[in-house]
């Protein structure tokens, strides 16, 4: 059994945040066709009507979530698909894929995770009336990005 | 270039559409697009479709992309069909596993149509 946790223990929120933000920027620029800008989380809190999540296991153990309001999720889906994104199912699918690509892009940018970190398939919750409890109570990295002026929150919660 | 039939394997219908669009944007003319949402569905699709190219995700429920590539290598009707992985899994070990299992190319998500062209045309025996 590999018990090396040095990757996690030597990593800190302050040096993972820019990597996470770069991963988000690249996914939106390449796959959604739109640049996103970093915003102050204290000033922009999204209405969390859609929450996409992808689990990480192995060298990194935790969960990555992407939250935004329904209008923003719909706009991102339309940008990805053209004007054919007309159902809530497609909107959820698109947001799940965005979350999946951010998680993959983030871990691919981290040195030392090669082959040691696995991703789950994405899950998407629609509706904001829920409580989120992760067993991965350790390092937490969060950023809010503005997409067409609307906030999208991206959170990475990792087991310590 | 002759029109081709492609099998796109991904659990996301959104991603299947994006992959199809990227192929068209890369200048690859498509005769027919066959879709499957996991490796098991893809194996069934290969029984009733003659395809020229397979683009396949790795992380999927039921049967993942690596297992699909391994099993496709044993299916007579699938032998010789180039498989290109298109996935968020970007580690060298995943690339090695995929290529060892029989995949001919590997594209990391997020991807551009140019990257699709760069990886797909050579396996179709076409110059860029």
Report yes or no: B81 and B62 within 8 Å, Cβ to Cβ: no
User: Using CA atoms, how far apart are residues A108 and A101, in angstroms rounded to an integer?
Assistant: 10
Confidence of residue A6 (pLDDT cuts 50, 70, 90): very low
Q: What integer pLDDT is reported at residue A132 of this predicted model? A: 73
pLDDT digits (tens, 9 = 90+) for B88-126: 988 888 899 999 999 999 999 999 999 999 999 999 987
ipTM: 0.89
Closest-CA residue of B relative to A80 is B18
Closest-CA residue of A relative to B86 is A101
A103 touching B (Cβ < 8 Å): yes
Contact pairs from chain A to chain B, CB under 8 Å = 70
Torsion, CA B95, CA B101, CA B106, CA B108, rounded to 10: -50
Of A90, A115, A121, the CB nearest to B91: A115
Answer whether the bond into residue B110 is a cis peptide, omega within 30°.
yes
User: Using CA atoms, how far apart are residues B118 and A15, in angstroms rounded to an integer?
Assistant: 33
Q: What integer pLDDT is reported at residue A42 of this predicted model? A: 73
The domain covering A11-158 belongs, at the CATH homologous superfamily level, to CheC-like (3.40.1550.10)
Closest-CA residue of A relative to B20 is A81
User: Using CA atoms, how far apart are residues A26 and A29, in angstroms rounded to an integer?
Assistant: 5
pLDDT digits (tens, 9 = 90+) for A43-91: 777 788 999 999 999 888 899 999 999 999 999 999 998 877 678 899 9
Flag whether pLDDT at A160 surpasses 60.
yes
Q: Which chain A residues are closer than 8 Å to B57 by Cβ?
A: none
With tokens 């968020």, the residue in question is B88
Residue A72, classed as helix, strand or coil, is: helix
Q: What integer pLDDT is reported at residue A2 of this predicted model? A: 40
User: Using CA atoms, how far apart are residues B33 and B45, in angstroms rounded to an integer?
Assistant: 11
B100 touching A (Cβ < 8 Å): no
Q: What integer pLDDT is reported at residue B13 of this predicted model? A: 94
CATH 3.40.50.2300 fits B4-123, yes or no: yes
Tokens of A121: 């398939």
A159 touching B (Cβ < 8 Å): no
Confidence of residue A9 (pLDDT cuts 50, 70, 90): very low
Domain ranges for chain A, please list them.
11-158
First and final CA of chain B: distance in angstroms?
Answer: 11
Q: Which chain B residues are closer than 8 Å to A114 by Cβ?
A: 91-93
Mean pLDDT, range B49-60, rounded to an integer: 96
Report yes or no: B23 and B42 within 8 Å, Cβ to Cβ: no
Q: Which chain A residues are closer than 8 Å to B99 by Cβ?
A: none
Task: List phi, psi (to 5°) of A29.
Answer: -70, -45
Of A30, A81, A104, the CB nearest to B89: A104
């Amino acid at each position: 059994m590999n018990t090396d946790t040095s990757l996690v223990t030597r990593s800190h929120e302050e040096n993972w945040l820019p990597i996470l933000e770069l991963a988000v920027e690249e996914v939106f620029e390449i796959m959604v066709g739109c640049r996103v800008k970093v915003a102050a989380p204290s000033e922009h809190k999204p209405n969390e009507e859609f929450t996409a999540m992808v689990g990480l296991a192995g060298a990194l153990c935790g969960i990555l979530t992407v939250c935004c309001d329904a209008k923003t999720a719909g706009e991102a889906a339309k940008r990805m698909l053209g004007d054919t994104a007309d159902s809530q199912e497609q909107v959820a699918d698109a947001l799940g894929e965005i979350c999946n690509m951010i998680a993959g892009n983030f871990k691919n940018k981290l040195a030392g995770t090669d082959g040691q970190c696995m991703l789950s398939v994405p899950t998407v919750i629609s509706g904001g009336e829920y409580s989120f409890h992760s067993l991965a109570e350790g390092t937490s990295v969060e950023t809010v990005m503005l997409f067409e002026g609307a906030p999208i929150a991206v959170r990475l919660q990792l087991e310590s | 270039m002759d029109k081709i039939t492609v099998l796109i394997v991904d659990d996301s219908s959104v991603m299947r559409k994006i992959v199809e669009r990227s192929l068209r944007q890369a200048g690859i003319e498509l005769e027919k697009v066959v879709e499957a949402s996991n490796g098991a569905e893809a194996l069934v699709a290969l029984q009733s479709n003659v395809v020229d190219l397979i683009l396949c995700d790795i992380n999927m429920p039921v049967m993942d992309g690596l297992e699909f590539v391994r099993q496709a290598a044993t299916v007579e009707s699938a032998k010789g069909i180039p498989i290109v992985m298109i996935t968020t899994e970007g580690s060298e070990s995943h690339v090695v596993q995929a290529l060892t299992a029989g995949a001919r190319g590997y594209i990391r998500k997020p991807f551009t149509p140019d990257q699709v062209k760069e990886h797909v045309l050579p396996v179709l025996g076409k110059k860029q």
